[in-house]
Amino acid sequence: MTHYVVRAVDRADPETIAALRGAGVATGHEAAGRIGLLGPAIRARQSGVVIAGPAITVSCPPGDNLMIHAAVEVCRPGDVLVVTTTSPSTDGMFGDLLATSLMAHGVVGLVIDAGVRDLAALREMGFPVWSRAVHAQGTMKAGPGSVNIPVVAAGQIVRPGDIVVGDDDGVLALPAARGPEVAAAAARRLASEDAKRERLAAGTLGLDMYDLRPLLAALGVEYVDRLPEAMA
C-alpha cells in the first residue's frame, strides 16, 4: 500500500472562514442544509472556545502518532489538524509537546478521532482540542500513514482544505467551495434568530411566533382544563 504526504492544499479565503467561525457549529450546520456534522463521540475538551480553519488531515495506524509529526511540516497558520486512525483507538496520541509544535506553526486546534493526554497542560496552553477520548496510554512512532487524504472522523468524511468549525456544540466540516454560500446563509439565519430572540424575551410564545397552533390541531392535540375522569 502506498502512503502519501500531500503538501498542496486549497484553502478557503480568510473572510469566509471568519464568518463561519462567528456563526458557530449549530448555525453553520443548519445554514449548510444539515450536512457536515461530526458525530457526538468527538467532544470539546475545553469550554467557550470557537475555532475555524482549513483541514489538514492525517490517517494514522492505531496507537501510533508518527504521521502527526509528519503533518506539522505541511501546516500553515490558521489550519486545523484533523487526525483519524485506520481502526478504532482511544490511545493518547497527542499531548502538550505536539501542541507546542503545532502552536509554533500557527495551527489553531486539533480534532482527533482517538485520544489525547496532558489535558491540563493543553488547557493551560490554550490549545483547543476535540477528541473521542482522554487517555494516558502512550503511543509509538513506527507505522506509516498519510497526510492530506480524505478521512472519516466520527462518521463524517473530511477532505483536505475543508472548513472545520469547532465549538462547545461539536465539530462541523464543510467543503471549501460551499463556504461563501453557507456563510451568507448563516448571516441571514443569525439576523433572523436575533429578531426571534427579542420577541421571545418580550413574552411571545413559540407556538404563536412559529404559528404552530394549526399544526397541533391538525395532529389531534386537544386543549382541556382537566383530564377526562377515565384518564385521570
- For the cut 90, the answer to whether the pLDDT of residue 228 exceeds it is no
The three cell numbers of residue 77 are 497558520
CA distance 201 to 58: 45
pLDDT in tens, 1-54: 899 999 999 999 999 999 999 999 999 999 999 999 999 999 999 999 999 999
* Per-residue pLDDT band at 229 (split at 50, 70, 90): confident
pLDDT in tens, 35-45: 999 999 999 99
pLDDT in tens, 118-176: 999 999 999 999 999 999 999 999 999 999 999 999 999 999 999 999 999 999 999 99
* Per-residue pLDDT band at 230 (split at 50, 70, 90): confident
The mean of the pLDDT values for the chain is 97
**In the prediction, which pLDDT does 85 show?**
98
Q: Mark the binding-site residues for Mg(2+), compressed into ranges.
A: 118
- Which residue type sits at 124? E
- For the cut 70, the answer to whether the pLDDT of residue 232 exceeds it is no
For 90-123, b where at least 16 C-beta lie within 10 A, e where not — what string? Answer: bbbbbbbebbeebeeeebbbbbbbbbbbbbeebe
C-alpha 108, offset from chain centre:
13
Q: 3-class DSSP state for residue 161?
A: coil
Q: Mark the binding-site residues, compressed into ranges.
A: 95-98, 117-118
Predicted TM-score of the model (pTM): 0.94
Q: Mark the binding-site residues for substrate, compressed into ranges.
A: 95-98, 117
Q: Please tell me the CATH superfamily of domain 14-185, with its number.
A: Ribonuclease E inhibitor RraA/RraA-like (3.50.30.40)
Domain ranges for the chain, please list them: 14-185
Positions of E strands within the chain? 43-44, 51-60, 80-85, 92-94, 109-116, 129-134, 146-147, 151-153, 156-158, 163-167, 170-174
Percent helix, strand, coil in the chain (nearest 5)?
Answer: 35, 25, 40
CA-based max dimension of the chain: 73
